[in-house]
Chain A
Amino acid sequence: DAGVTQSPTHLIKTRGQQVTLRCSPKSGHDTVSWYQQALGQGPQFIFQYYEEEERQRGNFPDRFSGHQFPNYSSELNVNALLLGDSALYLCASSWTAMSEKLFFGSGTQLSVL
């Protein structure tokens, strides 16, 4: 039973570029959330997708957008990258949007130069 998988594991971009991160939820899960974890900090909620719609959003600008596909996988897109976007991006999945337990992937380490 595969857990939450994320790709790529590492990514290097330059300022102003755009990036797409991908996430496949744990088998049987239909809800995906994305978190940003800056170095030395705890994860911060970006948004949540359920039934292919953004259901909840944290305090992140519109440069951060996402998508959920019919197979429940998800993408996180970040436009006009800033140096401050360098972080570990974690995807978490659960069964339904109100599950008490989140399962996390190992993350994508994004470096913006």
Chain B
Amino acid sequence: AQKITQTQPGMFVQEKEAVTLDCTYDTSDPSYGLFWYKQPSSGEMIFLIYQGSYDQQNATEGRYSLNFQKARKSANLVISASQLGDSAMYFCAMREGRGTGNQFYFGTGTSLTVIP
């Protein structure tokens, strides 16, 4: 089974509108972390936001928020007030356990295009 599933290969959003990128995960470990990264055409993976499995509140970082629904095993990224510079690939990722190093499991990504 896939550890991380992103079902939206491509998404379009109007500038200044909000957009939600979907992510579901699969793990039996009670301790895990969920991440979102942005990958522009330059190739660099840019960290956006992190949610720990024991965190009670949804994570927020500026225009980014993570809609964490533990029972449904979903960790959707919400981008508010989209900007042209938000056009990029977005990857959801998970790290299982504590003290298990940096093995992140990534999804296949969602290509976001912001339309002027």
Q: Does B106 count as interface, using CB distance less than 8 angstroms?
A: yes
Q: Does B20 count as interface, using CB distance less than 8 angstroms?
A: no
- Total interface residues on A, CB under 8 Å, equals 30
User: A96: shortest Cβ distance to chain B, in Å?
Assistant: 10
Given B43, B47, B91, B103, which contacts A45 in the complex, CB threshold below 8 Å? B103
* Known contacts A90-B45, A104-B44, A56 near B101 by CB under 8 Å: yes
B101-116 near A? 1/0 per residue, CB < 8 Å: 1111111110000000
Q: How far apart are the CA atoms of A50 and B99 in the complex, in Å?
A: 13
Q: Does B66 count as interface, using CB distance less than 8 angstroms?
A: no
* B101 lies within 8 A of A98 (CB): yes
Q: How far apart are the CA atoms of A41 and B108 in the complex, in Å?
A: 5
Q: Which residues of A contact B (CB under 8 A)?
A: 31, 33, 35, 40-45, 48, 50, 55-56, 58, 88, 90, 92, 94, 97-107, 109
